[in-house]
């Protein structure tokens, strides 16, 4: 069995077919253990190693925590992750594509430091000092985890059998890696992610070491300890970011390999014992991580009990579990004459809605939309196709005719009219194209008629219950609130009431389009009744409410929404990059720029490129080794050769699994997604060096360790120099244009050297002092002098002066929108801070009505940002633009409320990971 | 060839072990053992009765008789009542139309390679069809279109599949009952029969998939006779067949991948054979490179060569091709009488030279975001919105395009000009605003007019190449490739097949890219049409674009539009289905309207074939796992011959299924049931293997009994569902009893 083990380990990627030459190898072991493996228990290192470990930690702490207070304003995705801390503290539900562990930890540190959540982190560059945000405490959490990755690297290398010198080298390389340092200094998730990944690698390496020592170590204390630790760490990694799934894949692949080797050991492993091994792993590596992951979400739900801007992503059932979002029980049965509001099932667009505004196109009749909030304009009366008769056999006219009759339930197949109470019009459809979707197969839906109008045949809709979606026997037969899901078929044309995630333009208040579709997809054609009342229903009539989805239901729904949202982040981003550019460090990310300083995520080129080279060397080695193996050259007889192939091979597998899956992702990607893979790459570099310098012998002459140590010393010195050279953009320190240009090796490294002063002495102001600076620096000199478009943010915080056209605003902002997309101003945002949910709702209703009264003007002027070409901000294109705007919409309207999303080029911008949550 | 295999010819009365011992022996002795085995059998039999000797003759000639019977039956299933429905059914609307284009010799554009459609065209030509029918879906065929002949022509490809399946199964070393079962499963497969009966590409695709598999199996059996003439013939035929299958539909690439993987493994094993001289190894490699790579590529290119040769007239697909190619089509407007050199005041259209690139276009609609100025896009359709005037830049003296007093000024490399959109009078403009989709680029818009504007309307011409001349001081119609650099921002005008959302009418985004990459063809432009009254007409189209360039251009354009066939998520598409529905026969496809007056056809498989083959895939997986785990535990259940049999007759068909199925899981485009048909063939082969393997220890009588039941079920279900193949006349309610699953939609 030993021989087979060697085959499996040695020639893993090709196949496990035994080859003749290997069969001749003298058997050294008779069990599943591996040759050439000794105990590397990290708990039994010599004292000198622990001293080194402490020294390394101290060094890393100095490098990572140096001036952690600067910049004193919001950097890159602190916009999102700082913002999430505020939301946690206030308990307002939000949706983010990342699992909650790291965000919860950040929140914890913020909370311990006394943060009250009264800061919104909305723009890059927004000042921390004046509002007294404990941002240093928040940054300390990722920073400390980042510090710990250095000693972890030391331990990982020790446990894989490297010399202390190599282990020190690995730790120092991690310490002086610019990208890892930059990333761990801010409130971001990648430092916790790398930390958790490193911890997993350490635990699993310790476990592998125990496992490879054979049956004598199996099921002993350390064996169980490291197996359980691996499981917990896997859970933690996956709870920080879904990238942890790649780590799980790595551990999983290697575990399957171990089990396969175990299966081949027929001498010491009985089937019973094999199953013991198997179930130990199932428990520790599957059940424990899943339990951990679910547990983190349980805490997440415990924290977020109030409605927030993430509601719009979730189903009505989910939303009903949030405070103040639940509703009163409503009567179950819908009868003719009931006042109902109808909700769209598949999108979170809201309620079927109409208001006193006309479509500007098509029939020019009254608009029908989906509106996300409760409102009187959502109420319709269900009318029967024919009017009821009174006792004399006379027709009772009007929509209120059923009010005093006993309730007559609406059955499946009933033909109804829907009467809009506020405007006295009925929902109507005809052969006119919808306003936005100009597809042949869709018709317009409008509201048509006037008070006293009896309606016409185009108002008739047939109720068709969808039995598979309806809940309960009765709900499949007749229309019941919430339980029944139904389609509304337009009797005259056969099309079906339909809505999809298409927003109407400003004239429709960015509410969702409703059409009548022939052959629309089923999910988008399904509706249900949410509120229902009827005059003659008794008080004690049967009532229903949303079903509580329970914890697991909520958990699962959130996972699905996260997945869909994540996959939907495909819009390109000014600082994104694709995976092929990462190993060669083609481009970085601009994190922050202000005050003639810059923070730019860029790796240490020396470490980056040499680690990539190490991987390339291994791949070439493997290629040759496999070819030689097929030619029966017997390389694998050599223990060192075999161990080199296996040990580096497993790490390269880890690198590959953390790198190549990104090729499959269509979503926007950034350089920092490479960091876990980089961590593996550094391990590979050190392991390769360790083998080359200390273990491989050429013609049975072992190399002098002195050479290896000298090489390591030189390499480390160069790495540190390289780190120092690029350190100004790590720490946001003063730099000069010359120094910057000198080290800008590639034009694709697009940090902006012109940001810096030409001379260090110009950095006179002490950095910590701000306040006024924030005001002034926005008007500071402009990089490159390119005339760029200025968008003045609406808030008073930073105002670029419009009379200085050369100015580029360094600011940008997160829009606050309500769920139908209207921009919110400062006062409204302030109002939310009080978290008064009832007034929250009312406010919007009022707002809608105000808007209606004002006609088409939905935003009062102050929201609309000055449009460059209209306002004369840009002297070259502005002013002279006196001719009439072309097209079917005024040119100025195009920028209204929207161009805020477009910032000038070359400015930092947060990744849109959380942004989508507020945009929808 | 088949006679050389005793395992098959004498398979009936021998048990499995005898047969298996024979197989390697037969291979080693290169047929001589086989011959003696046959003669031995004859001796044994000669002592028995006359009847037995008749059976022996039948037995000996089974390899001719059985396929003949199967083929005769398949002629019936594929051709019976083939002309019953006289309306254009399902995708006949497409492929018939393409056939018409060949007959009329008009250039068209489609996502599929041309071989299949040329064959359709050929069938039309043979049928005496003149190409004038439009092939509108559901329309009745006119008198002069002999659609029956065209369909018959197609169904021949379907018929050929059956003997191919028979011989393939034999070559895979299955026992006779299995060979018959596989043939019957292909023969009485309703969906194969139905799809072969119309003017579609699928019967051809299936046919060439079958020939590829057959040639591969044949070639594999000749492994021990390397470099013999036979070996070369079958290797060459494999390559030819691969070429054909890829020239019908791109799906053929999966078939190619199967043969490719086999070849790689084969060479890998030879590489490990230390006894083989390196020269021989190199010869093996060279033979395969020539036959399996070069031959297919030549076939593929040849089909395009013929395609270009036939389609010499201008037609609906012109715009997909380069301007120079269009200029060489008969009856085109491109390049006709255009003045040769561009001067200030010329009215031009600008063609993007990237593959599938359109014409620079603008229309009055504005960008809904960004600057809100007038949209600039790239668009294939030719209309007046593609016209641009070349104007001098704003620093130059005023200029009147019609004033003949001004001296004529030509533009060339390094000149800075403005481009004015003819319909709206606005300048082509760019500024520091992110492009709507490609956020890292600058937006390109139309802004201002002849007087209103600034230096952001300026574009500098950088000539890249000119096939007609080395002189860069003038821009020539059609032949000059140039880039347009935005003078003040330094970015380059580019359009790279990025589709705008609905507000941009799904036209191609045009942006200004900051990277200076001279080799990026998406930033190259040429003048396609050119009008200037003050210049004499020329004939710029006299230069022919080289075939290889057109070939690559067309292929990239095909890829691009194939990927663009993404379903509309809002639309319920009853014809489309998803990959998971196919193996479990979850869905049927109505090929025409379901009116009582129409002869109705339904694409639905034979349930036992689908469910059985899918189950066998699972069974095969379990079988492999079982043997692997046993092997790892130290049991040696199988000898080398068994392993080889599982490897080549079981694993490769499974691999074929995976290769033909997996891509459709990943693909984002709309998928239909017929995309599963090539994969189904491999599933059928796997089913054959599983049955063959599991019954290997059985006595011959129960085995024949088992197989007879299976034959009966396969044929019986085909007969039960015959109406969906031969056409359903009258009310669909007559077949309500066949609607076993709701999604089959027979009713």
Domain ranges of chain A: 47-301+582-728, 328-545
Q: Looking at chain A from residue 205 to 264, which residues have their Cβ under 8 Å from any Cβ of chain B?
A: 260, 263-264
Low pLDDT (below 70) residues in chain A: 1-28, 765-907, 909, 911-920
Which chain A positions have a beta carbon within 8 Å of B367's beta carbon?
A: 894
A416 forms beta bridges with A384, A461
- Contact, A903 vs A810, CB < 8 A? no
Higher pLDDT, A290 or B394: A290
pLDDT-derived band of residue B662, with 50, 70 and 90 as boundaries?
very high
- Mean residue pLDDT across chain B: 87
Is A1 in CB contact (< 8 Å) with chain B?
Answer: yes
**Are A266 and B373 within 8 A, CB to CB?**
no
- Residue of chain B nearest A498, judged by CA positions: B570
Among residues B235, B200, B205, B204, the alpha carbon closest in space to that of B218 is found at: B235
Cα distances from A532 to residues A378, A422, B475, B551, in angstroms, run 11, 16, 72, 65
- The angle formed by the CA atoms of residues A769, A770 and A776, to the nearest 5 degrees, is 135
- Residue of chain A nearest B490, judged by CA positions: A786
Report the alpha-carbon distance of residue A102 to residue A86 in Å, rounded: 14
What pTM did the predictor assign? 0.82
- Contact, B56 vs B45, CB < 8 A? yes
Q: Six-digit token pair at B5?
A: 């295999």
- Minimum distance, in Å, between the CA of residue A346 and any CA atom of chain B: 11
**What tens digit of pLDDT does each residue of B344-362 get?**
888 899 999 887 778 999 9
HSE-up of A576 (CA within 13 Å, CB side)? 20
Which chain B positions have a beta carbon within 8 Å of A500's beta carbon?
A: 569-570
Among residues B238, B254, B227, the alpha carbon closest in space to that of B291 is found at: B238
- Minimum distance, in Å, between the CA of residue A909 and any CA atom of chain B: 12
- Minimum distance, in Å, between the CA of residue A787 and any CA atom of chain B: 8
β-pairing verdict for A461-465 and A415-420: antiparallel
> Cα B238 from chain centroid?
18
Is A631 in CB contact (< 8 Å) with chain B?
Answer: yes
- Minimum distance, in Å, between the CA of residue B451 and any CA atom of chain A: 9
Own/partner long-range contacts of A828-833 (Cβ < 8 Å, ≥24 apart): A829/A120, A833/A90, A833/A118
State ipTM: 0.82
Give residue B355's pLDDT: 77
**Are A894 and B502 within 8 A, CB to CB?**
no
- Minimum distance, in Å, between the CA of residue A891 and any CA atom of chain B: 5
Minimal Cβ distance to B268: which of A263, A630, A901:
A630
CATH of the domain spanning B328-537: 2.80.10.50
Phi-psi bin for A364: left (phi > 0), alpha (psi -120 to 50), beta?
Answer: left
Give residue A778's pLDDT: 34
Minimal Cβ distance to A574: which of B268, B440, B456:
B440
- Contact, A544 vs A474, CB < 8 A? no
Is the per-residue pLDDT at B33 higher than 50? no
Which chain A positions have a beta carbon within 8 Å of B454's beta carbon?
A: 876-877
B460 forms beta bridges with B416, B485
Window from A60-64, B55-59, B113-117, B214-218 with minimum mean pLDDT: B55-59
Is A632 in CB contact (< 8 Å) with chain B?
Answer: yes
HSE-up of A469 (CA within 13 Å, CB side)? 18
Sorted by where each begins, the domain ranges of chain B are 328-537
Which chain B positions have a beta carbon within 8 Å of A264's beta carbon?
A: 632-634
- Residue of chain A nearest B441, judged by CA positions: A574
HSE-up of B522 (CA within 13 Å, CB side)? 17
Residues 6+ apart with CB under 8 A from B122: B102, B153
Size of interface A-B (CB pairs under 8 A): 132
Greatest mean pLDDT among A113-117, A385-389, B201-205, B424-428 lies in B201-205
pLDDT-derived band of residue B564, with 50, 70 and 90 as boundaries?
low
Task: State the angle between helix axes of A135-159 and A78-90 in degrees (0 to 180), rounded to the nearest 10.
Answer: 110
Which chain B positions have a beta carbon within 8 Å of A892's beta carbon?
A: 372
**Are B374 and A1 within 8 A, CB to CB?**
no
**Are B454 and A877 within 8 A, CB to CB?**
yes
Minimal Cβ distance to B570: which of A4, A521, A886:
A521
A747 forms beta bridges with none
Which chain B positions have a beta carbon within 8 Å of A439's beta carbon?
A: 568, 571
Minimal Cβ distance to A524: which of B274, B371, B570:
B570
Give residue B122's pLDDT: 95
A166 forms beta bridges with none
- Minimum distance, in Å, between the CA of residue B456 and any CA atom of chain A: 9
Is A433 in CB contact (< 8 Å) with chain B?
Answer: no
Which chain B positions have a beta carbon within 8 Å of A4's beta carbon?
A: 632
Residues 6+ apart with CB under 8 A from B93: B135, B136, B137
Neighbours of B238 (CB within 10 A): 29
Report the alpha-carbon distance of residue B8 to residue B29 in Å, rounded: 17
Minimal Cβ distance to B570: which of A500, A868, A882:
A500
pLDDT-derived band of residue B705, with 50, 70 and 90 as boundaries?
very high
Which chain B positions have a beta carbon within 8 Å of A1's beta carbon?
A: 634
Is A883 in CB contact (< 8 Å) with chain B?
Answer: yes
Q: Which of A905, A906, A907, A912 to mutate to test the interface with B (most CBs of B within 10 A)?
A: A905
**What tens digit of pLDDT does each residue of B611-623 get?**
999 999 999 999 9
Phi-psi bin for A26: left (phi > 0), alpha (psi -120 to 50), beta?
Answer: beta
Start-to-end CA span in chain A (Å) = 60
Q: Six-digit token pair at B470?
A: 């080395």
Q: Six-digit token pair at A236?
A: 């933690």
Give residue B82's pLDDT: 92
Is the per-residue pLDDT at B45 higher than 70? no
**Are A877 and B431 within 8 A, CB to CB?**
yes
Give residue A891's pLDDT: 28
- Residue of chain B nearest A885, judged by CA positions: B373
- Contact, B441 vs B513, CB < 8 A? yes
Report the alpha-carbon distance of residue B449 to residue B294 in Å, rounded: 56
Minimal Cβ distance to B572: which of A266, A520, A867:
A520
Which chain B positions have a beta carbon within 8 Å of A787's beta carbon?
A: 432
Window from A561-565, A812-816, B86-90, B102-106 with minimum mean pLDDT: A812-816
SS3 percent helix, strand, coil of chain B, rounded to 5, is 50, 15, 35
Is A67 in CB contact (< 8 Å) with chain B?
Answer: no
Q: Looking at chain A from residue 557 to 576, which residues have their Cβ under 8 Å from any Cβ of chain B?
A: 571-574, 576
Q: Which of A21, A895, A896 to mutate to test the interface with B (most CBs of B within 10 A)?
A: A895
In a 3-state reduction of DSSP, which class is residue B671?
Answer: coil
Report the alpha-carbon distance of residue A782 to residue B318 in Å, rounded: 49
pLDDT-derived band of residue B22, with 50, 70 and 90 as boundaries?
very low
Is A4 in CB contact (< 8 Å) with chain B?
Answer: yes
Give residue A854's pLDDT: 33
Q: Which of A30, A627, A877, A888 to mutate to test the interface with B (most CBs of B within 10 A)?
A: A877
Q: Looking at chain A from residue 488 to 527, which residues have their Cβ under 8 Å from any Cβ of chain B?
A: 498, 500, 505, 517, 519-522, 524
Please return the burial class of A550, using the count of CB atoms within 10 Å of its CB with bins 0-12, 13-18 and 19+.
exposed
Is A886 in CB contact (< 8 Å) with chain B?
Answer: yes
Looking only at Cα atoms, what is the longest distance across chain B?
112
- Minimum distance, in Å, between the CA of residue B500 and any CA atom of chain A: 12
- Minimum distance, in Å, between the CA of residue B269 and any CA atom of chain A: 8
β-pairing verdict for A415-420 and A380-384: antiparallel
- Contact, A472 vs A489, CB < 8 A? no
- Class of A328-545 per CATH? mainly beta
- Residue of chain B nearest A629, judged by CA positions: B272
**What tens digit of pLDDT does each residue of B145-165 get?**
999 999 999 999 999 999 999
Minimal Cβ distance to A887: which of B366, B489, B571:
B366
- Minimum distance, in Å, between the CA of residue B490 and any CA atom of chain A: 12
Give residue A342's pLDDT: 93
Higher pLDDT, B553 or A865: B553
Please return the burial class of A269, using the count of CB atoms within 10 Å of its CB with bins 0-12, 13-18 and 19+.
buried
**Are A263 and B440 within 8 A, CB to CB?**
no
Which chain A positions have a beta carbon within 8 Å of B576's beta carbon?
A: none
**What tens digit of pLDDT does each residue of B314-333 get?**
988 888 888 888 888 888 88
Element (H, E) at B484: strand B480-486
């Amino acid at each position: 069995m030993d021989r087979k083990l060697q085959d499996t380990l040695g020639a893993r990627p090709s196949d496990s077919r035994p080859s003749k030459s290997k069969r001749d190898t003298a058997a050294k072991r008779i069990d599943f253990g591996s040759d050439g493996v000794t105990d590397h228990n990290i708990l039994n290192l010599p004292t000198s190693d622990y001293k080194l470990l402490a020294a390394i930690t101290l060094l890393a702490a100095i490098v990572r925590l140096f001036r952690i207070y600067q910049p004193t304003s919001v950097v890159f995705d602190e916009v999102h992750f700082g913002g999430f801390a505020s939301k946690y503290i206030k308990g307002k539900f939000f949706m983010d594509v990342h699992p909650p562990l790291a965000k919860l930890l950040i929140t914890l540190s913020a909370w311990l430091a006394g943060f009250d959540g009264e800061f919104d982190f909305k723009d890059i560059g927004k000042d921390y000092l004046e509002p007294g945000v404990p941002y240093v405490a928040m940054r300390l959490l990722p920073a400390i985890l980042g510090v710990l990755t250095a000693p972890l690297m030391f331990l990982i290398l020790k446990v894989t059998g490297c010399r202390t010198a190599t282990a020190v080298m690995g730790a120092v390389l991690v310490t002086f890696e610019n990208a890892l340092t930059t990333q761990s200094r801010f409130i971001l998730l990648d430092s916790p992610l790398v930390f958790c990944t490193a911890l997993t690698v350490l635990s699993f390496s310790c476990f592998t070491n125990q496992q490879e020592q054979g049956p004598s170590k199996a099921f002993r204390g350390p064996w169980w300890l490291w197996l359980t630790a691996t499981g917990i760490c896997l859970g933690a990694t996956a709870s920080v970011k879904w990238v942890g799934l790649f780590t799980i894949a790595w551990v999983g692949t290697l575990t399957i390999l171990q089990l396969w080797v175990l299966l081949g050991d027929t001498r010491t492993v009985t089937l019973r014992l094999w199953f013991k091994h198997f179930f130990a792993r199932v428990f520790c590596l599957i059940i424990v991580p899943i339990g951990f992951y679910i547990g983190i979400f349980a805490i997440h739900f415990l924290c977020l009990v109030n409605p927030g801007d993430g509601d719009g992503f979730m189903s009505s059932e989910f939303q009903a579990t949030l405070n103040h979002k639940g509703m009163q029980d409503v009567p179950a049965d819908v009868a003719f004459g009931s006042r109902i509001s109808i909700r769209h099932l598949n999108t979170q667009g809201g309620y079927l809605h109409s208001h006193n505004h006309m479509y500007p196109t098509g029939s020019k009749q009254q608009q029908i939309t989906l509106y996300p909030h409760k409102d009187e304009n959502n109420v319709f009366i269900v009318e029967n196709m024919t009017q009821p008769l009174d006792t004399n056999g006379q027709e009772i006219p009007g929509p209120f005719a059923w009010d005093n009759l006993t309730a007559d339930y609406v059955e499946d197949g009933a033909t109804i009219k829907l009467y809009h109470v506020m405007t006295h019009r009925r929902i109507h459809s005809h052969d006119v194209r919808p306003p936005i979707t100009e597809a042949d197969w869709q018709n317009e839906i409008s509201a048509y008629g006037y008070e006293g109008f009896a309606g016409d045949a185009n108002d008739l809709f047939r109720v068709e219950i969808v039995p598979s979606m309806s809940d309960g026997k009765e709900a499949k037969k007749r229309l019941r609130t919430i339980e029944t899901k139904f389609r509304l078929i337009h009797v005259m044309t056969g099309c079906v009431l339909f809505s999809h995630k298409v927003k109407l333009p400003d004239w429709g208040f960015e509410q969702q389009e409703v059409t009548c579709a022939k052959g629309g997809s089923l999910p988008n054609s399904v509706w249900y009744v949410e509120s229902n009342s009827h005059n003659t229903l008794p008080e004690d009539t049967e009532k229903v409410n949303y079903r509580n989805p329970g914890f697991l239901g909520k958990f699962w729904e959130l996972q699905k929404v996260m997945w869909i949202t994540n996959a939907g982040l495909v819009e390109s981003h000014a600082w994104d990059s694709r995976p092929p550019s990462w190993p060669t460090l083609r481009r970085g990310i601009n994190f922050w720029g202000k005050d003639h300083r810059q923070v730019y995520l860029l790796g240490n080129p020396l470490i980056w490129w040499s680690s990539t080279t190490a991987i390339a060397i291994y791949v070439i080695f493997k290629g040759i080794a496999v070819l030689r193996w097929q030619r029966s050259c017997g390389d694998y007889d050599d223990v060192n050769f075999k161990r080199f192939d296996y040990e580096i091979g497993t790490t390269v597998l880890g690198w590959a699994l953390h790198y190549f899956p990104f090729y499959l992702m269509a979503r926007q990607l950034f350089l920092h997604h490479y960091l876990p893979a980089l961590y593996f790459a550094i391990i590979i570099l050190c392991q390769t060096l360790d083998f080359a310098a200390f273990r491989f012998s050429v013609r049975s002459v072992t190399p002098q360790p002195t050479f290896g140590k000298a090489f390591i010393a030189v390499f480390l010195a160069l790495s540190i120099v390289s780190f120092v050279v690029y350190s100004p953009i790590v720490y946001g320190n003063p730099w000069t244009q010359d120094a910057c240009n000198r080290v800008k090796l590639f034009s694709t490294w697009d940090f902006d050297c012109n940001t810096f002063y030409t001379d260090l002495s110009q950095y006179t102001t002490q950095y910590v002092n701000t306040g006024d600076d924030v005001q002034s620096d926005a008007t500071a000199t402009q990089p490159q002098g390119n005339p760029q478009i200025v968008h003045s943010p609406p808030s008073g915080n930073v105002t670029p002066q419009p009379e200085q056209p050369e100015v580029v605003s360094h600011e940008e902002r997160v829009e606050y929108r309500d769920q139908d997309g209207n921009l919110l101003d400062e006062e409204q945002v302030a109002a939310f801070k009080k978290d008064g949910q009832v007034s929250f709702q009312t406010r919007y209703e009022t707002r809608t009505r105000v808007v209606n009264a004002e006609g088409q003007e939905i935003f009062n002027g102050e929201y609309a940002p000055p449009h460059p070409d209209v306002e004369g901000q840009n002297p070259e294109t502005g002013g002279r633009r006196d001719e009439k705007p072309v097209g079917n919409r005024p040119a100025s309207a195009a920028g209204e409320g929207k161009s805020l999303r477009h910032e000038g080029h070359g400015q930092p911008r947060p990744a849109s990971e959380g942004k989508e949550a507020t945009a929808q | 060839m088949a006679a050389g295999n005793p395992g098959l010819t004498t398979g009936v009365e021998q048990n499995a072990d005898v047969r298996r011992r024979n197989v390697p022996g037969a291979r080693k002795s290169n047929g001589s053992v086989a011959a003696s085995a046959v003669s031995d059998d004859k001796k044994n039999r000669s002592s028995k009765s006359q009847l037995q000797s008749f059976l022996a003759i039948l037995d000996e000639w089974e390899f001719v008789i059985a396929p003949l019977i199967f083929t005769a039956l398949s002629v019936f299933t594929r051709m019976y009542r083939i002309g019953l429905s006289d309306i254009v059914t399902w995708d006949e609307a497409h492929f018939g139309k393409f056939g018409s284009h060949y007959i009329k010799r008009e250039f068209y554009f489609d996502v599929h390679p041309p071989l299949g459609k040329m064959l359709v065209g050929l069938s039309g030509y043979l049928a005496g069809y003149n190409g004038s029918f439009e092939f509108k879906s559901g329309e009745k065929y006119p008198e002069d279109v002999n659609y029956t002949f065209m369909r018959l022509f197609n169904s021949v490809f379907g018929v050929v599949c059956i003997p191919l399946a028979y011989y393939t199964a034999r070559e895979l070393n299955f026992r006779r009952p299995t060979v018959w079962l596989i043939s019957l499963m292909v023969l009485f497969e309703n969906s194969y029969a139905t799809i072969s009966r119309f003017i579609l590409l699928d019967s051809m695709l299936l046919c060439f998939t079958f020939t590829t598999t057959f040639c591969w199996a044949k070639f594999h059996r000749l492994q021990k006779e390397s470099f013999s003439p036979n070996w070369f013939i079958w290797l060459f035929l494999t390559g030819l067949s691969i070429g054909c299958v890829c020239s019908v539909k791109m799906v053929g690439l999966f078939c190619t991948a199967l043969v490719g993987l086999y070849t790689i493994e084969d060479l890998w094993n030879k590489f490990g054979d230390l006894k083989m001289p390196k020269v021989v190894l190199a010869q093996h490699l060279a033979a395969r490179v020539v036959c399996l790579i070069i031959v297919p590529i030549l076939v593929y290119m040849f089909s395009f060569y013929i395609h270009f040769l036939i389609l010499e007239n201008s037609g609906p697909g012109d715009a997909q091709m380069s301007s120079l190619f269009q200029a060489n089509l008969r009856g085109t407007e491109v390049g006709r009488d255009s003045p040769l050199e561009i001067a200030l005041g010329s009215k031009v259209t600008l063609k993007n030279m990237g593959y599938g690139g359109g014409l620079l276009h603008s229309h009055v609609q504005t960008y809904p975001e960004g600057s809100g100025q007038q949209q600039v896009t790239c668009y294939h359709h030719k209309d007046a919105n593609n016209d641009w005037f070349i104007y001098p830049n704003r620093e130059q003296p005023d200029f009147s395009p019609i004033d003949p007093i001004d001296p004529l000024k030509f533009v060339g490399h390094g000149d800075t000009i403005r481009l004015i959109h003819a319909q709206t009078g606005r300048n082509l403009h760019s500024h520091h605003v992110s492009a709507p989709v490609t956020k890292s680029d600058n937006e390109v818009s139309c802004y201002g007019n002849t007087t209103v504007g600034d230096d952001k309307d300026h574009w500098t011409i950088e000539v890249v190449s000119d096939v007609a001349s080395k002189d860069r001081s003038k821009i020539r119609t059609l032949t000059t490739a140039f880039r347009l650099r935005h003078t003040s921002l330094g970015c380059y005008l580019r359009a790279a097949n990025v589709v705008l959302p609905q507000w941009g009418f799904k036209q191609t985004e045009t942006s200004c890219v900051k990277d200076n990459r001279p080799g990026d063809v998406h930033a190259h432009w040429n003048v396609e049409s050119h009008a200037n009254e003050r210049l004499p007409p020329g004939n710029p189209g006299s230069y022919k674009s080289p075939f290889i360039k057109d070939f690559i251009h067309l292929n990239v354009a095909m890829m691009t539009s194939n990927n663009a066939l993404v379903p509309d998520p809002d639309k319920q598409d009853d014809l489309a289905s998803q990959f998971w529905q196919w193996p479990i026969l979850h869905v049927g496809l109505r090929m025409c309207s379901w009116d009582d007056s129409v002869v109705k056809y339904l694409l639905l498989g034979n349930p036992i074939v689908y469910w059985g083959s899918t189950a066998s895939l699972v069974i095969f997986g379990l079988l492999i796992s079982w043997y692997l785990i046993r092997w790892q535990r130290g049991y040696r259940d199988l000898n080398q011959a068994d392993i080889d049999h599982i490897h080549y007759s079981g694993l490769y068909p499974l691999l074929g299924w995976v290769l033909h199925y997996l891509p459709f899981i990943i693909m984002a485009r709309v998928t239909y049931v017929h995309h599963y048909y090539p994969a189904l063939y491999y599933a059928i082969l796997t089913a054959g293997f599983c049955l063959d393997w599991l019954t290997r220890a059985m006595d011959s009588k129960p085995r024949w009994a088992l197989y007879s039941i299976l034959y009966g079920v396969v044929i019986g279900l085909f007969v039960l569902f015959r109406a969906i193949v031969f056409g359903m006349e009258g009310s669909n309610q007559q077949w309500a009893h066949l609607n076993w699953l709701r999604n089959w939609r027979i009713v």
